[in-house]
Structure 1
Amino acid sequence: MSNNKEKIENDNEHDNIDQSLIDELLKIKGVGESIAIKLIEANYPTIESIASATILQLNKNADIGEKTAAKIIGNAQEMINISFIDAQQLLEIREDMKRFTTGVEELDKLIGGGVETQSIIEVYGEFRTGKTQVAHQLCVTVQMSEGDGGLDASAIYMDCEGTFRPERIRDMAETFKLDPQLVLKNVQYIRIYNSDHLNVALEKIPQVIMEHNIKLIVVDSIMTHLRSEYIGRGTLSSRQQKLNTFLRKLHKVAEDFSLTVFLTNQVQTDPGVRWGNPTKPIGGNIMAHGSTYRLYLRKASGNKRVAKLVDSPCLPEGEAIFAITEKGIENA
């Protein structure tokens, strides 16, 4: 009797899976319905996600034998036609890449015309420099229509510091003449309590993206828990490996779903610097190499802030000034 009850419960769980996702995976040679369900539940809902997975990942996460996993991955790779392209083709692809506005004209110019999709943007600075304010505003501007500079999409906010405020989202929505209630419903929020919690949440992101048309993921702040959980030089290697895992997962969803990952980061003072700015971001080379764009925010006079583009694969260094007001972040 208990076995029948367990089977019914399992069937009910599978009923929650979108049949179109199952049908898509059934196109892969060697994938039956039971394996398709396993893959979807393990957050491999597309042919592309399976093609870019490793045998070990499918074996561990989806409980699929190594030989079967190897065949499935190989067949998925054949289906998506993995091949080289020339730089001209890549240029054409990048020219079609979508961007959305920050709501600040000078800030948009600094980063090449707006927030780029398929990228990770890291913003670091001392407290009260506007990192979280920018993150809040992007959750609003990404929802604007494409004609107004948005992507007509939704956002995920992963709050590691407990600083997310829906009231702020509401006020910013009113500034851009959007329906505050609708804007709030289009921000998927999760409070993150430790680095393991963040890791689990990142595993669940693909399903949330497909359900809610997500084009922006905010992690505020990426180093908060790693900084407090891994103390001393003896734990540095483990901390950096975990950070690298986070960044690899975020890069993958950014590219697979053509969205933007926006990371805020904390800073520390380098006691060895006698001249110049001793402030530097946490995370070392792993963080530096993992970010597509790096912005350093610092305080100016009054409510003004200075954003400096520190690193970009295609843009020169530069600065932009913006203001933080009750309406949001605005042109200074």
Structure 2
Amino acid sequence: MTSKSKKRAVATEVDQVVTCDDEASIASFANDDDESFFQDIDVLQSHGINIVDLKKLKSAGICTIKGIMMCTKKRLCNIKGLSEQKVEKIKEACCKLDTGGFLTALQFSDKRKNIFRITTGSQDLDKLLGGGMESMAITEAFGEFRTGKTQLSHTLCVTAQMPSQGFTGGKVIFIDTENTFRPDRLRSIAERFNLDQNAVLDNILYARAYTSEHQYELLDLIAAKCHEECGTFKLVIVDSIMALFRVDFSGRGELSERQQKLAQMLSRLQKISEEYNMVVFVTNQMTSDPGATMSFQADPKKPIGGNILAHASTTRLSLRKGRGENRIAKIYDSPDLPESEATFAISAGGITDSKE
């Protein structure tokens, strides 16, 4: 097989994204027979819910039964045209389809078998993360400039499209808040993995966010897009999560409002990751801590976002510079991964293993 035909064959595999038209095909995406990740709210019509009201829900980015269960009555009532009485009726109908009650640990263990992982491009970094970036969770990478945050984001855009053991590959959504997204960078990474460059770029949805409000509004569009092409999108990247909040909110007087808006955004991201079984990867910036010198801390720098971001992120990855092109990643916080370090390198083909 020639190099060109090999690339075309791989590209065909990359382009094999799934679409679904009816409830039966939607249910086939979930490995668990008892529950589908993509149970459309259209099934509520058989429970007496008006199709006009369902369209109003979809316009707000709420497209699945699980999505409704994740929303408070207050948020649903804020949707134009939905009264408190209608919201009660919708919630009641959803409870009949999804009880949302307790599971045994064994049942939950079976449910977590739906989780997949996306490779970072480096075996050592994958090993540190327990196999790669985990779905149904928020993975945060923070560090100073030039530590590889954006390079890792670009590499994941490509590796998310590559089928691997237990993972079919899929499309990517990229929210850029700092104007650092470069399609040409993706071409060199795609070349490393011998993929068709145009096919790789065609499978990435890009949005440039200019304000923190715009950044939040894009999350509704993400939910709508994931519903429109259910089972197709596997990764959401926000590079970086805090940049616009830093600009839009300044001083201690606006800190409370900033953290409240940030909490809402992170909660929405977490719900999207669980609702559609996706990997959410966010990058974060650092700040100097003026009080650290008084307490004799070894490193006076810390990630911004405070406790809100610290608690919302499932796994926190600390990145720092090494020698030359090498970078060092450390598990800063995780519910199931030990505190450990791994060395990786930044190459023309993206994130790769260190040669040292």
TM over 0.5: yes
TM-score scaled by structure 1? 0.90
Task: From the superposition, tell whether residues 95 and 45 of structure 1 become closer, same or farther in structure 2 (CA, over 3 Å).
Answer: closer
Which of 270, 290, 293 aligns to 1:251? It is 270
Q: Which residue of 2 aligns with 1:229?
A: 248
Q: Which amino acid aligns with 1:211?
A: E
Deviation at 1:319, TM superposition (A): 0.6
Q: Which residue of 2 aligns with 1:161?
A: 178
Question: Are the counterparts in 2 of residues 120 and 261 from structure 1 also a CA contact under 8 Å?
Answer: yes
Question: Are the counterparts in 2 of residues 141 and 150 from structure 1 also a CA contact under 8 Å?
Answer: no
Q: Which residue of 2 aligns with 1:183?
A: 200
Matched, 1:61 2:79: yes
Matched, 1:285 2:307: yes
Matched, 1:122 2:144: no
Question: Are the counterparts in 2 of residues 129 and 299 from structure 1 also a CA contact under 8 Å?
Answer: yes
Identity %: 45
2:49 counterpart SS class: coil
- Structure 2 counterparts to residues 18-97 of structure 1, below 5 A: 23-27=42-46, 29-97=47-115
In 2: Cα distance, 1:188 partner to 1:96 partner? 24
Q: Deviations over 1:219-239 (max 9, x none)?
A: 011100111111111111000
Deviation at 1:22, TM superposition (A): 6.8
Q: Deviations over 1:100-126 (max 9, x none)?
A: 211110000101111110000000000
1:146 counterpart SS class: coil
Question: Are the counterparts in 1 of residues 63 and 227 from structure 2 also a CA contact under 8 Å?
Answer: no
Q: Which amino acid aligns with 1:181?
A: N
In 1: Cα distance, 2:134 partner to 2:98 partner? 25
- Structure 2 counterparts to residues 266-281 of structure 1, below 5 A: 266-273=285-292, 274-281=296-303
Which of 312, 318, 323 aligns to 2:334? It is 312
In structure 2, stretches of 5+ residues that fail to align are 1-20, 24-39
In 2: Cα distance, 1:317 partner to 1:63 partner? 49
Deviation at 1:152, TM superposition (A): 1.4
Of structures 1 and 2, the one scoring higher in RCO (CA 8 A, sep 6+) is 2
Q: Deviations over 1:125-174 (max 9, x none)?
A: 00011000001111111100134x75410110000000000011111111
Q: Deviations over 1:9-45 (max 9, x none)?
A: xxxxxxxxx8975743423x23122112222222221
Matched, 1:298 2:320: yes
Which of 156, 159, 163 aligns to 1:138? It is 156
Question: Are the counterparts in 1 of residues 122 and 344 from structure 2 also a CA contact under 8 Å?
Answer: yes
Which of 187, 209, 220 aligns to 1:170? It is 187
Q: Deviations over 1:257-295 (max 9, x none)?
A: 011110100001112223311110000000100000000
Deviation at 1:47, TM superposition (A): 1.8
Question: Are the counterparts in 2 of residues 53 and 73 from structure 1 also a CA contact under 8 Å?
Answer: no
1:61 counterpart SS class: coil
In 1: Cα distance, 2:291 partner to 2:51 partner? 59
Matched, 1:200 2:222: no
RMSD of aligned residue pairs (Cα, Å)? 1.6
Task: From the superposition, tell whether residues 54 and 30 of structure 1 become closer, same or farther in structure 2 (CA, over 3 Å).
Answer: farther
Question: Are the counterparts in 1 of residues 44 and 93 from structure 2 also a CA contact under 8 Å?
Answer: no
In 2: Cα distance, 1:307 partner to 1:23 partner? 44
Question: Are the counterparts in 2 of residues 268 and 281 from structure 1 also a CA contact under 8 Å?
Answer: yes
In 2: Cα distance, 1:76 partner to 1:35 partner? 14
In 1: Cα distance, 2:164 partner to 2:353 partner? 21
1:155 counterpart SS class: strand
In structure 1, stretches of 5+ residues that fail to align are 1-17
In 1: Cα distance, 2:134 partner to 2:190 partner? 21
In 2: Cα distance, 1:25 partner to 1:204 partner? 22
Aligned residues: 313
Which of 238, 244, 255 aligns to 1:219? It is 238
1:137 counterpart SS class: helix
Q: Which residue of 2 aligns with 1:242?
A: 261
Question: Are the counterparts in 1 of residues 136 and 279 from structure 2 also a CA contact under 8 Å?
Answer: yes
